[in-house]
């Protein structure tokens, strides 16, 4: 009797496994697409040593090679991906009239890891506030809309 129950349970398990549809492959996020496009088509640039250090990307003040897209104007906006560590993504906004720059460090997953403000040449690294997170999300959306939708 026990072997009959075991056979029934085993058969039911096999049928259930066969009836499941294979899951679709995960789709690439729009941020992932923007990162890949930046690495493939972006301009070569350098993240300055003090910025990389304050963001925690480089424990010593070293330049970090990046690929980037930049929108010139007021403010200047940029999207940068480290060529050595693709999980280090920096989005920045620089206002020359206000003498203020904000750098957002994120990853391929799109989670804000750190914020750096530079006001009149002095950098302040901090834990992100709610306002920082809101501004970061706006900037991230701006770049993913621009880079992910134009690349197929």
* Tens-place pLDDT, residues 25-46: 344 688 999 999 999 999 999 9
Please tell me whether residue 44 adopts helix, strand or coil conformation: strand
> What are the CA-CA distances from residue 140 to residues 7, 30, 63, 110, 114 (Å)?
54, 10, 23, 8, 14
The tokens of 141 are what?
A: 């959306």
pLDDT at residue 150, as a whole number:
55
> Which distant-in-sequence residues (6+ apart) come within 8 Å of 149 by Cβ?
30
pLDDT at residue 57 tops 80: yes
| Mean pLDDT, all residues of the chain | 83
pLDDT at residue 21, as a whole number:
39
pLDDT at residue 11, as a whole number:
41
pLDDT at residue 152 tops 60: no
- DSSP label at residue 23: P
Give alpha helix (H) positions in the chain: 2-19, 30-41, 49-55, 130-149
pLDDT at residue 47, as a whole number:
94
pLDDT at residue 148 tops 90: no
């Amino acid at each position: 009797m026990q072997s009959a129950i075991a056979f029934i349970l085993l058969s039911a398990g096999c049928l259930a496994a066969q009836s499941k549809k294979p899951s679709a492959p995960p789709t690439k996020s729009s941020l992932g697409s923007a990162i890949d496009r930046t690495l493939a088509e972006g301009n070569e640039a350098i993240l300055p040593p003090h910025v990389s250090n304050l963001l925690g990307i480089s424990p010593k003040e070293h330049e970090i090679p990046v690929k980037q897209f930049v929108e010139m104007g007021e403010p200047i906006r940029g999207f940068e991906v480290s060529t050595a560590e693709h999980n280090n993504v920096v989005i920045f906004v620089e206002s020359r009239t206000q003498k203020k720059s904000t750098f957002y460090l994120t990853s391929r997953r799109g989670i804000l890891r750190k914020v750096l403000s530079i006001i009149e040449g002095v950098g302040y690294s901090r834990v992100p506030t709610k306002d920082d997170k809101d501004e970061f999300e706006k900037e991230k959306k701006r770049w993913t809309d621009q880079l992910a939708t134009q690349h197929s």
